[in-house]
Chain A
Amino acid sequence: MKRESMKALLLGTLGVVAAMSLAMLASHVSPILGFNAFFYGAFGGKQEIAETLASTTALLFPALGIAIAFRAGLFNIGAEGQLLVGGLLAGWIGTRIEVAPALAIAAIFLAGAFGGAVWGAIAGWLKAARGANEVISTLMLNFIAASLALYLVTGPLRAPDAAGPELSLLPHAYWLPTLLPQTRATIALPIALLLAFALRYVLNRTWFGYRLRAAGEAPEAARRAGISLSRVALSAMAWSGALAGMGGAALVAGELHRFNTQLSPGYGFIAIAVALVGGLEPLAICVAALAFGALESGGLALQAAAAVPKDAIHVIEGLLVFALAARRYLGARGATTQ
């Protein structure tokens, strides 16, 4: 990560600590007790660390996907919908196949990737074929994915044995193995980390990555050099969606063990902030995802201890993003989303 970005993040973090202290003082909570609750909630014990890692995983998949699109110059804000469609397909496949557990888990992840890829590719195709603004199309596809999922789980795909509108439970053998027993931290985390390394390699060392970055950083030059911007848009959006969809599959097989519409409390949106804070670099995004994962689980503990609502954590995340946006003012320049 660039030095200036580090500086911006440091200043941002200081600002966040100050803002949190003020907020806690204002709600008559001792900041020392509050921070204690926050850090205990994020890192205090096996269960707490596992919660942090689970949130990290849930954010890491879509954040890596978002980085692919952003590096190609495509403002994909549709990770939430891509994650949902991927999770839906993963949850459906998981209840339909009867094979060895390892194969089944692979099939579940592939189904998630496929579902997300299709949803992302719709926006990519609209961009490639019709020049349609991807901000609008991915946003609309988020709403459509939510309605589609709701329709399917309340109607045609609803599990006969389920209490609420949801798909059937996956067979126990297909649940992702946990990293720490009795927790939500699963092997999805190492899978996501491997993907981050793979993505770094692909972006920096392959023709595909080169074309993608060229299209994002200097589209006119890339076009004149014979790179098809349409093809880049289509493939970048498909891969972007595939990673978000795998995130959905990880949530289905690792946490809920079935699909329902409560799969994601906005992971696809927070992941945009994660990707930006990580400077769109896969390995830095892993660190950012850990930080945001800790914010999510620490925020829950803070909510319990100090009645600070978990949504207020968004203020902190927003301040971090804002500080990062202002890093140019703090002396840096470099690739941005534009």
Chain B
Amino acid sequence: MTLSLVLSLLALALVRGTPILLASLGGVLSERAGIVNIALEGEMTAGAFAAALISFFTRDPWIGAIGGVAVGAAVGFVLGFAATRWRVDQIVAGMGINLICTGGAAFGLIFVFNQAGVTPQVPAINQALWPLVILGILLAAVLQWALSRTPIGLRLRACGENPHAARAAGIDPLAVRLAASAIAGALAGLGGVFLALGELNLYSDGMIAGRGFIALAAVIFGRWTPLGAAGVALIFGLLEALQFALQGNIAWLPSDFLQALPYIAALIALLGASGRYRPPAAEGKPYP
């Protein structure tokens, strides 16, 4: 394999991995604060659709990108609000939000564009693809530092481990969880923006294709740390890139096997990484 081939493979891995990375950082934040985030998939969908929609009407892709992030944050806020004020079962609420977001985007396509499946082409920010990739990696490093070394990070973790102790220390666990969930939504929304306006210039039904769930897997594999989750997300990106690179080059290997490669790798990783997962102690448990 030549050097240029390796480099293009790594470049592709970064591009494919970044949306998963962004969403997984959101997942780490909300789960460390104590909110299980099954809704990453819906938040990415909402972010991607809103970004394409707003970019179409304003003809300004940057406003579209900001709108996508904001809508993702709004969805995260709804999950956080229901989880903190209504004490909902967070997994059930998350599944509901995923259904609402995918259905809402499908409906929005008909309602606004009068066509099913895909938006027209919209102004995009393809030139910002690489800055966004770098931003994602920097964010992972910053969040890692903030979570483990700053008072704010300590407070956030306290809410996920023992909200009663956090309360006793003068922290409002409900406010922290709500904020973490909204920021998580914003990050997942940015992942959706990356797909819709960074890589492409449209939204189409099913374009998120389970990346939100993969991000959730990255959170768990990365043991609820930003750098860990980011690393796993980029490995998923690499496996996806490998699949493109190998397709058609190895005759005896069926291409469907290559498509399943990232998932098979994840299963094998699960085999090896036994018993080393410990989720935040109060994750998923309503407070008070």
Contact = CB atoms under 8 A, between A and B. Distances in A.
Contacts of B87: 328-329
Interface residues of B, number: 52
- Measured as residues with beta carbon below 8 angstroms from the partner, the interface class of chain A is 35 or more
Nearest to A135: B216
Most buried by A among B259, B267, B274: B267
Contact of B110 (A130, A307, A321): A307
Given A130-B275, A309-B116, A315-B107, A326 B259 contact: no
A324 B96 CA distance: 9
Most buried by B among A126, A131, A137, A315: A315
Given A131-B274, A318-B98, A318-B99, A337 B92 contact: yes
Given A147-B257, A155-B254, A273-B95, A314 B106 contact: yes
Contact of B266 (A122, A140, A325): A140
Interface string B98-129: 11111110110111000010000000000000
Contacts of B60: none
A308 B271 contact: no
A151 B256 contact: yes
A280 to B, nearest CB: 11
A147 B259 contact: yes
Most buried by B among A155, A307, A325, A328: A325
A315 B103 contact: yes
Interface string A135-156: 1110111011001101100110
Nearest to A324: B92
Contacts of A308: 107, 110
A133 interface: yes
Contacts of B85: 329
Interface string A114-126: 0000000010001
Interface of B: 82, 85-93, 95-104, 106-107, 109-111, 116, 205, 210, 213, 216-217, 220-221, 254, 256-257, 259-260, 262-264, 266-267, 270-271, 273-275, 277, 284-286
16 contacts: A75-B91, A126-B267, A126-B270, A129-B274, A130-B273, A130-B275, A139-B213, A143-B262, A151-B254, A273-B96, A308-B110, A309-B109, A314-B99, A317-B99, A322-B100, A325-B90
Q: Please name the 5 residue pairs, one residue from A and one from B, whose CB atoms are nearest each other, closest first.
A: A314-B103, A318-B99, A311-B106, A322-B96, A318-B100
Given A318-B99, A338-B89, 19 more contacts: A126-B267, A130-B270, A131-B275, A132-B270, A132-B271, A136-B220, A137-B270, A141-B263, A143-B262, A273-B99, A309-B110, A311-B103, A311-B106, A317-B99, A317-B103, A318-B103, A328-B89, A329-B85, A336-B89
